[in-house]
Amino acid sequence: MSEPSVHSPVTAIPGQKIDPTRVYTIEATSVQTGQKTRLQYTDCKISGHGSFGVVVAARLIDGDVGRVALKRTKQDRRFKNRELQIMKITRHPNIIRLLYWYYEPSGKPEEVYLNLVLDYEPETIFRTYRIWTKQQLRFPEFLIKVHMFQLCRAVSYLHSMGICHRDLKPHNILVDPRTCKTTLIDFGSAKVLREGEANVSYTCSRYYRAAELIFGATMYTHQLGSTSYPDTIDMWSIGCIFAELLQGSVFFPGSSGVDQLVEIIKVLGTPSPDQIKAMVPNYHDRGLPHIKPTPFSKLLPRASPEAIDLLQNLIVFDPSQRLSAAELLAHAFFDEIKHPGPSGTGPVLPGGERMPPMFNFSHHELSIRPDLVNRIIPSYARREIYIQHGIDLSKSWQPIDLRTVRVDDIID
C-alpha cells in the first residue's frame, strides 16, 4: 500500500481539538471509480471515538456530497482490512455508504492509519429513543416498526452475502430525525462466516451478546439446505435492540460476562440440557441454578401482542429457533407500516412526513426469500418494484442465485 502525502483533519488533533476554519487536503481512492482523487475538507469536529480510533465530521468542499464522516483505525500493513473489504462491496440503502478511503503513516513501520470517508448522519437510534424516555414517554411503537424494518432489511442483505455484523447495537444505528431514514454503521467487527470455521466467542457489545457466545461458542453459523447462514448471533442482538426500544432502557444490563448470563437467565429461565447443547455442543454442565422464566408480556406489559411474539422468536437460547432477518420482515408486527394509508402510498410519520423508502427492494433482496415477498412488500409497492426490475407479473420470475453474491472467496 502506498504512502500518500496528506494533510488530514483526522491526524491533526492537538489536544482533541480541530480548527474548524482550516481547509485540509487529502488524496483518497474513490469507491465509485477506483481512481485516486484530491479532496478538501473544512468545518471539522470530532464526533466520536473509542477503541477503534476516531471519527471526525467534516464538510467536503467540492462536489454535492456535503457533510461526511471520517473514521480512522490502525491497520497492520501485512493484512487486508476486513471492514474496508466488506464496505467496498456492500450496496444497500440502509447500510452506510463508503465514499473514499486513504492511508496515512502512523509513525510505526509495521502500521498505517486507514481512513474511511463515509456518508454522515448526526443521530443514533440510542439518542433518539432517549429523548423520549428522558421525558417519561414511551418511544412510539410505530416508530420502532419504521426503524426496525429498515435495520432488518440491511441485516438480511448482509446475511445473504455470508456476512455477520457481530456488533449490532443502538449506537451503531443512525437515523435521520426528520425522515426516520435508518442506516447501519460500523463494520469493524463484521466478518464472512464459513461453515466449520471457528470464530472468537468474545465479540458483540456485552448487552447485545448472544447467550451462546457467553457460553463460549465459536461456531455460530446454521445450515439451511446446502448453504450455511451467519445470522444467529445478529438475530439475538436485534431482539435485544427491539426489547430496549420497547422498554426504554437496556434489556439485559449485565455488569460483566457472568452477570450478563444471569440477566438473561432471569428472563429466559435456566437453559435445558438440550438448549445448552444447541448453543455449545461440547459444553459441560456446571450445575446452573434452576430459575423459572419470566414472560415477556410481564416485563413489557404495554407492548402489543405482535411485539411480544416477535421477541419470543428472537431472544431464545436455541440459535436455530430464532427468526432470520427476512422472516422478521414478514412478521405481523410490521403490518401497520405496510398499509396503503389514505394516499394509497403508505402511512405517514407522526409529524406528517412521508415514511422513508421502505420497499425499494433490489432484485438481490427479492431473491433472498422469494416465498415471503408477498408478505414483506405490500401490493401497492410490489407492482412498481416488479416493473422497475423488468419482472413480468404474468409469469413466474427467476430469483438471483444468491450463491453468486456470497463473498466467501473475496475477503480474507
pLDDT tens readout for residues 162-205: 999 999 999 999 999 899 999 999 999 999 887 666 565 556 78
25 inside domain: yes
Residue 96 and residue 64 share a domain = yes
What domain range is 276 assigned to?
Answer: 123-338
Residue 209 and residue 106 share a domain = no
C-alpha–C-alpha distance, residues 8 and 5, integer Å: 10
Lowest mean pLDDT among 129-138, 216-225, 393-402: 216-225
User: In the listed set 118, 148, 164, which residue is the last one of a domain according to the structure?
Assistant: 118
Residue 203 and residue 156 share a domain = yes
C-alpha–C-alpha distance, residues 51 and 172, integer Å: 14
Q: Is the pLDDT of residue 219 over 80?
A: no
Q: Is the pTM of this model over 0.75?
A: yes
26 inside domain: yes
Pairing of strands 227-229, 111-119: unpaired
Q: What is the pLDDT of residues 383-408, one digit of tens each?
A: 888 888 887 766 677 888 887 877 76
C-alpha–C-alpha distance, residues 147 and 206, integer Å: 22
Q: What is the pLDDT of residues 234-285, one digit of tens each?
A: 999 999 999 999 999 999 999 998 899 999 999 999 999 999 988 988 877 6
- Active site (annotated) includes residue 371: no
Q: Is the pLDDT of residue 28 over 90?
A: yes
What local confidence, expressed as pLDDT, does residue 15 receive? 40
Nine-digit cell string for 36: 485516486
Q: What is the pLDDT of residues 59-80, one digit of tens each?
A: 998 877 789 999 998 887 777 7
What local confidence, expressed as pLDDT, does residue 192 receive? 87
Catalytic residue among 62, 119, 167, 234: 167
Helix/strand/coil for 352 = coil
CA atoms within 13 A on the CB side of 322: 30
**Is the distance from CB of 346 to CB of 356 less than 8 angstroms?**
no
Tell me 163's DSSP state. E
CATH code at position 324: 1.10.510.10
Nine-digit cell string for 286: 456446571
**Is the distance from CB of 316 to CB of 268 less than 8 angstroms?**
yes
User: In the listed set 50, 83, 118, which residue is the last one of a domain according to the structure?
Assistant: 118
383 inside domain: no
Residue 284 and residue 197 share a domain = yes
CATH code at position 24: 3.30.200.20
C-alpha–C-alpha distance, residues 12 and 45, integer Å: 11
User: In the listed set 118, 150, 168, which residue is the last one of a domain according to the structure?
Assistant: 118
Helix axes 232-247, 125-133, angle to 10 degrees: 30
